[in-house]
Structure 1
Amino acid sequence: KSHGICLIVGTMIGSGIFISPKAVLATTGAVGPCLCVWAACGVLATLGALCYAELGTMITKSGGEYPYLMEGFGPIIAYLYSWTTIMVLKPSSFAIIALSFAEYAGTPFYPGCIPPLVVIKCLAAASILLITIVNCISVKLASYVQNIFTAAKLFIILVIILAGIVLLAQGKTKNLTNTFDGASTSFGNIGLAFYNGLWAYDGWNLPLAIIIGIPLVTICYILVNVAYFTVMTPTELLQSPAVAVTFGDRVLYPVSWVVPLFVVFSTFGAANGSCFTAGRLTYVAGREGHMVKILSYISLKRCTPAPAVMFNGFLTILYIMPADINTLINYFSFAQWVFYGLTVLVLIVMRFTRKEWNRPVKVPIIIAVLVFLVSCYLVLAPIVDKPEVEYLYCTIFIFSGMIFYFPFVHCKLSWTRKIMRPITMHLQLLMEVVPPEKIE
């Protein structure tokens, strides 16, 4: 049980809590609603995870949302989920974490100002390359990196929370009075605040140890935000290039270097975890015939899904070039919540179409309906309030998967095989990879 809780807490606490506070505050406009959004995100993550627990115990196949959507809506929606995860969700998630890593790694070298964009982009690209290489070289090394950095992030969160409690006890509560003054509550802004808050909770859809894991993370996040507000006014927080670094400089001097160092460890560990899971998902999609065959091959010498990991790393570097963190978070969250909503809809539909199925965990249907309605709001609110072209690109991108679905997956046309065979063969020789069944 404790291992399950560690896994949930370790997966969910990534870069979000060090990056999102600024964006949540910017979109809500005041301390009160900002803290309310953090708490509401925790409640939503818990309710969503309960729905996933019912689906997970009813449909026991692995593969994330894929088997649920396959069972509920058939192969096309399931394929689009698989396509979106590999082409949009995993690379953009990895890109957001790499950019967060770069912001915190660069900030100490530029005291009093924001690091140049080119420095951040180059640092992010370097971290992506390093993590991709680690994941191609050895599975054991990748999981070893993961364990060390999980301890680092829990340590730094604890340091910030304890410092915050001490400051509260000393009466530093100026920024925590009249907390609703100047709040902006537009229809779309709250949706965007939720995008940024929920990014920090990403990973809630693991049905392990839900009841303890997510509330624990929620309490941590609220306390970290309260700690930030004990030493920074909302304006100072918004102007800070890296919130936790500013906090460390003001509170932990002369050992303030601990904060950026451990946040860098934490984000590096989260990026490594993102790359590790993306590699596995891409590999499975290749094996199922949803992606080109080469992605399901594994390294002859090292037994790692090297082509899948490299493909994900390549896409991630493409994503960091044009975009900043907030654009990527909005882009990622929009696509993610489309599929979260559809997955919860599967649960509602199956209550009527698969009544006879065994459900070891059964949540009240009202919870599923509530999560579905909230996901509809999260998908539509930012578009209705401020239509931006990114959402259109994202929608086109999701549906563009259909271009490949019919010739390659559904019909398996012979000419597609003729085109792919020589390409696969050359890549296989170049990367020294073979189909998994060839390795005994």
Structure 2
Amino acid sequence: MDGETANLRLKRELGLVSAVSLIAGTMIGSGIFMSPEWVLRHMGSPGASLMIWAACGLLALLGALSYAELGTVIKESGGEYIYILRNFGSLPAFLFAYTSVIVVRPASIAGVSLSFAEYVVAPFYPGCPSPEVAVKCTAAACVLTLALINCLDVRLATSIMNIFTAAKLTVLLVIVVGGIVLLANGETRSLQNAFDNTAAGFGPVGVAFYQGLWSYDGWNNLNYVTEELKNPEVNLPRAVMIAIPLVTALYVLVNVSYFAAMTPVELLSSGAVAISWGDKVLGSNWSWLIPLAVALSTFGSANGTFFSGGRACYVAAREGHMPDVLSMAHVHRLTPSPALIFTSAMSLIMIIPGSFSSIVNFFSFTAWFFYGITISGLLYLKIKKPDLPRPYKVPIILPIIFLIAAVYLVLAPIIDSPQIEFLYVVLFILSGVIVYIPLVHFKRYPKFLSKVNLHLQLLLDVAPTDKNV
């Protein structure tokens, strides 16, 4: 390899504003425009629903602050994967990468892209359902556009992230201001006796948390790109402390605005709560703003998920848990293009059946299982290695609370509604052991793979990278 590529590494392009945009921009997707109906359905009352939204934000903040300490101790990209690898070893980390890179991340990107496509295509077919082919082709175009943007330039991807985050924050502020005007005009009937008909029980609360936490998904995304973050010791915790409270406050106020505009019965029957809000509050002249906002939100959220998801694949390959070519970066553009191309290919495969939403739901309990393992690693470091240099520290009680919540969220859906699909998910994860033993542990793989790697390296103009640590 020549001198130009001998010390190739990803550039530190993410400043504080881009870091806040990555977290907030990924968190604010379609969830806040769709999930309030489902949280209310499970909790039964506006007051309890608002408490769930606030509690979800608090839980996301506890997790993100705990991850911030991990990110300043283990200064490598890769999020949960790299923390599990460094604290618990190769096999658990491989199982996480196997599950996340092959199914969970691509399914998430495909799901958000399909939501984007639904809102983009709908205006062309007024009064009737959009053709499935048109929706899927638009979703595929969204994935390919994101792949191109992220492969071309990190700065371009982050600029798009910043613009889309600013746009959707503006729209959420419009909904908040609309709610304040309604409340000032005395529209408070839904918030009187706000806790009437509140549901109780282990199961309903857990499922309501899942619905709310879907809208907060992305709170951990900055830890996937630590090596591309400027001054991570300062900017990682600072971005978390700005982005997550901001999103939480907006989510709670947006829900208050929904309840000011609609009764609980109207909200439950709306189907798309934000669009119903727009029709009622903005009127026919401006109600188009809400579908546009959802399209912007979903595209921006897909971009953030794509940005971090490609890095997870890249880091797993760099550690020997994926094919070598996926650990390489473009020699001129300095983007992990092979990993991004692989992620986009898996996402396109997920779009074809279009019935993977249940897969994502059943894997969400897996995500919380791995969150719990990751936080256990932080507690291990705090107790067993207290002298490790820590530019940023969280009080030990915060990760303990988060770990208890993670255990609850793993067990709640299984206890409340046991389904055979949970067993299928566990079996899929364990099937990773069959792949791990020959290919990773014993490094027994067909010789033609090295030739394939070499040809792909030449074709994609990529080279191995060093770590930014």
Match of residue 211 from structure 2: 196
Where in structure 2 are the equivalents of 1:64-213 lying within 5 Å? Answer: 64-109=79-124, 115=130, 120-205=135-220, 206=222, 207-209=236-238, 210-213=240-243
Q: Which moved more, 1:384-393 or 1:235-244?
A: 235-244
Whether 1:434 aligns to 2:462 is yes
> Is 1:24 the equivalent of 2:45?
no
Q: How far is the alpha carbon of 1:106 from its aligned partner? A: 4.1
The within-5 A match list for 1:197-346 is: 197-205=212-220, 206=222, 207-209=236-238, 210-253=240-283, 254-299=285-330, 304-322=335-353, 327-346=358-377
- Structure 1 residue 323, shift from structure 2 partner: 5.3
Q: Structure 1 residue 282: deviation in Å?
A: 1.4
Question: Contact 1:294 / 1:428 at 8 angstroms: preserved in 2?
Answer: yes
Summarize the alignment of residues 366-405 of structure 1 with structure 2, pairs less than 5 Å apart.
Answer: 366-405=397-436
* Aligned counterparts of 1:405 and 1:167: Cα–Cα separation in 2: 58
The aligned amino acid for 1:180 is F
**Equivalent pairs, count:** 435
1:337 shift after superposition:
0.7
Per-residue deviation, 1:167: 0.9
Distance 2:461 2:208 in 1: 44
Task: Flag the structure with more relative contact order, 1 or 2, with Cα contacts below 8 A and sequence separation at least 6.
Answer: 2
Measure how far apart 1:143 and its partner are.
Answer: 2.9
1:219: Cα distance to partner? 0.9
CA contact (8 A) 1:104 1:242 kept: no
Matched residue SS, 1:307: helix
Aligned partners of 1:198 and 1:401: how far apart in 2? 27
Amino acid at match of 1:102: A
- CA drift of 1:108 comes to 4.3
Q: Report percent identity of matched pairs.
A: 51
The answer (yes or no) to whether the contact 1:195–1:329 under 8 Å persists in 2 is no
Secondary structure of the residue aligned to 2:195 is coil
Contact 2:22 2:161 in 1 (8 A): no
Aligned residues of 1:114 and 1:241 also touching (Cα < 8 A): no
Q: So what's the TM-score if we normalise by structure 1?
A: 0.88
Which runs of 4 or more aligned residues in structure 1 lie more than 6 Å from their structure 2 counterparts after TM superposition?
A: none
How far 1:157 sits from its partner (Å)? 0.8
Match of 2:29, SS state, is coil
Contact between 1:98 and 1:268, CA under 8 Å: does it hold in 2?
Answer: yes
| 8 A Cα contact 1:5 1:208, kept in partner | no
Q: What is the CA–CA distance in structure 2 between the aligned matches of 1:115 and 1:203, rounded to whole Å?
A: 29
Preserved CA contact (<8 Å) 1:41 1:198 = yes
Task: Determine the C-alpha separation between the residues in 2 that align with 1:356 and 1:231.
Answer: 54
Structure-2 residue corresponding to 1:352: 383
Contact 2:338 2:460 in 1 (8 A): no
Amino acid at match of 1:62: S
- How far apart in 2 are the matches of 1:299 and 1:350? 35
Distance in 1 (CA, whole Å) between partners of 2:390 and 2:330 is 40
Structure 2 counterpart of 1:424 = 453
What is the CA–CA distance in structure 1 between the aligned matches of 2:130 and 2:184, rounded to whole Å?
Answer: 34
CA contact 1:103–1:242 (8 Å) conserved in 2: no
Query: Do 2:29 and 2:294's aligned partners in 1 also have CA atoms closer than 8 Å?
Result: no
Kindly provide the amino acid, as one letter, of the partner of residue 218 in structure 1: T
- Contact 1:104/1:245, CA 8 A, preserved across alignment: no
Report the residue type matching 1:330 in the other structure: N
Residue-by-residue CA offset, 1:46-93 (whole Å, 9 max, x unaligned): 222232233233333332123322232122212222222212332122
* Matching residue within 61, 70, 73 for 2:76: 61
Deviations 1:191-221, CA, capped at 9 Å, x for gaps? 2211221122223234432334322211100
> Residues 295 and 307 of structure 1 are in contact (CA less than 8 Å); yes or no, is this contact kept in structure 2?
yes
- Check whether the contact 1:128–1:317 (CA below 8 A) recurs between aligned residues: yes
Q: CA deviation at 1:422?
A: 4.0
For residues 95 and 299 of structure 2, what CA distance do their matches in structure 1 show? 29
| CA-atom RMSD in angstroms | 2.8
Equivalent residues of 2:237, 2:392 under 8 A apart: no
Aligned with residue 52 of structure 1, among 43, 63, 67: 67
Instruction: Give the Cα–Cα distance (whole angstroms) in 2 for the partners of residues 329 and 229 of structure 1.
Output: 29
Q: Report the AA paired with residue 35 of structure 1.
A: L
**Inter-CA distance 411–325: structure 2 relative to 1 (3 Å threshold):** closer
Unaligned runs of 5+ in 2: 1-14, 223-235
CA deviation after TM superposition for structure 1 residue 291, in Å? 0.7
Letter in 2 for 1:129: L
Residue 447 of structure 2 aligns to a residue whose secondary structure is: helix
For residues 125 and 270 of structure 2, the distance between their equivalents in structure 1, rounded to whole angstroms, comes to: 12
Residue 169 of structure 1: how far off its partner (Å) = 0.9
Moved more, 99-108 or 318-327: 318-327
